[in-house]
Structures are given as C-alpha cells and as structure tokens.
Chains A and B, each alone.
Chain A
Amino acid sequence: DQQVKQNSPSLSVQEGRISILNCDYTNSMFDYFLWYKKYPAEGPTFLISISSIKDKNEDGRFTVFLNKSAKHLSLHIVPSQPGDSAVYFCAASVQGAGGTSYGKLTFGQGTILTVHP
C-alpha cells in the first residue's frame, strides 16, 4: 500500500527551462508535505515544504503547489541548473493537533532529475 507515489522515475530537462516533479498521495490525513533532494553517497537534504492550509509555497527558484482535492503536489524549479541534477523525494506526514505520529514521514519512490547544460 503505497500512500505516496511519484509516478515518473526520471525527468530530463534543458538548463534554464522549468522542471516539474509530481507527487500523488492517497491518505487524506496527511497535512504536511516536504520535498527532499538527494545526491549520490549523501543523505536526503530538505528542500521545501508546504502545509495543507496553503496551496503554494515559494523559496527562490523552488515552488511547491498543493492541490488537496486531487491529492496532488508538484515541485517547480525555475530556471533549472545542472547542479539541480539529483534524486527528488516527495514526503508526507500527519502533523495535526493531537497527532501522535511525531512527524513520521512517508516517502515516494523518488524521481531522478537530470538537467543538461
């Protein structure tokens, strides 16, 4: 039972263009979503997050969009740079009042992004 899915195993983009990474979830209890970036031989690094009370969060070149009705979120990278080439993981958690999960994350399978010069 995969509660968080990234259906595209890989994405190839030209430098300077937009990269769009997608993520779907099934558990309606999820109320906090994160994107992590991972380089080879390193641990995942936090990139950007969004609470379910918002539909957009922006940080520099990175924007995350959340569509709660569709249970879908996406990460936009504009403009894409070769240094953005990495594996991107979507993750979801239940943070709400009274929750006892203490931020336990459920990860998608990851999308390998390659940005060509």
Chain B
Amino acid sequence: DARVTQTPRHKVTEMGQEVTMRCQPILGHNTVFWYRQTMMQGLELLAYFRNRAPLDDSGMPKDRFSAEMPDATLATLKIQPSEPRDSAVYFCASRWENIQYFGAGTRLSVL
C-alpha cells in the first residue's frame, strides 16, 4: 500500500527555534508539493519540485522558509526562525498522472 509518509506527525516548539519537516513521496512519483492548512487560508501551496528541482516557491515566506529535495525519496521543509503565526498543519503530496496523493500531515504548534 504505497503512501506518502510525513514526519513528525506533531511538533511543538518555541518561537525562534528551527523546525524541520520531512516527507517521503511515493516511489516513482517525480513531482512533490508542500501545502499549509490554516483555518483562515484553507489549503495553500507553499512550494513544489519536479525531478528534485524546485519549480515554484512563491507561496513561501522566503526569509524564514526553505524547501529542498536532497534525493528522490526525501523532501524537507524548514522554518528558521519559527514564529507563532507558522502554527498550522503542513501537508506533503506527490503526483502521479493528474492526481496528487497526500501525506497525513505535520501539525506544528509554535508557542
């Protein structure tokens, strides 16, 4: 049963700390997306990669967020320094043909 795996599932941290979220896409899927879900904004696209190359990260606050895909089995999203307004659920998705398959998300709370 192939699925997108995200770690950690929950993260509580203090303002100013670095946060790293990880995503393992489904094997063979070459396009990977990062989304953030908040009550106010719904599901918003942060960044996405194709064949590990970043295509668009215009949805991310550039000064504190960074996204990378060091290899085909790992995508990372980092926040440094974190702020309370970053509290949200972060989803990773990988794409096959026209469908995106989502992980279970990382729930981030910044105190």
A residues contacting B by CB (< 8 A) are: 32, 34, 36, 41-46, 49, 89, 93, 95, 100, 102-110
Contacts and interface: CB of A to CB of B under 8 A. Distances in A.
A103 B31 contact: yes
Contact of A32 (B45, B50, B98): B98
Interface magnitude class on chain B: 20 to 34
Interface of B: 4, 6, 31, 33, 42-45, 48, 50, 55-56, 91, 93, 95, 98-105
Given A34-B99, A49-B98, A102-B48, A107 B104 contact: no
Nearest to A42: B104
A103 B32 CA distance: 10
B-side interface mostly: strand
Contacts, number: 55
27 contacts: A34-B98, A34-B99, A34-B100, A36-B102, A41-B104, A43-B91, A43-B93, A43-B103, A44-B43, A46-B99, A49-B99, A89-B43, A95-B98, A102-B48, A103-B31, A103-B98, A103-B100, A104-B33, A104-B48, A104-B56, A105-B45, A106-B45, A107-B42, A107-B43, A107-B44, A108-B42, A110-B42
